[in-house]
Amino acid sequence: MTAPQKFRKKPVEITAIQFTGDNAHEVWDAFGTDGIYGPTEGNPDYLILVTVHGDEAPARPGDWVIPDGKPGTFYPCKPDIFANTYEPVGDPA
């Protein structure tokens, strides 16, 4: 029988940009427009992100937009969770 062991998650570097509510063009410049939609007249305050599962998730002002590994897929991350999970690596990209 194998005894339980403790494990630590390996450090992973990501590229992310914080959506401020008025910087959609910066988000598109960083990641392209495939999988990132809005803001629209009906939804002026957030972007719609296509997730790796094919669903849509809103990125509201303050949320971080993070690519999800598959081209054209992203996920939003709330600022407090982002701050507790990630730290800057070197200079901004």
Q: What does the pLDDT look like over 30-77, one tens digit per residue? A: 999 999 998 877 777 899 999 999 999 999 999 999 999 899 999 999
Domain assignment present for 31: yes
Q: How many C-beta atoms lie closer than 10 Å to residue 67's C-beta?
A: 19
Mean pLDDT along residues 80-89: 93
CA atoms within 13 A on the CB side of 45: 3
CB distance 64 to 17 below 8 Å: yes
The β-bridge partners of 59 are 47
Domain assignment present for 5: no
Q: Where is pLDDT greater, at 83 or 40?
A: 83
Domain assignment of residue 50, given as a range: 17-84
Please count the structural domains in the chain.
1
Domain assignment present for 73: yes
Domain assignment present for 21: yes
Record the pTM. 0.83
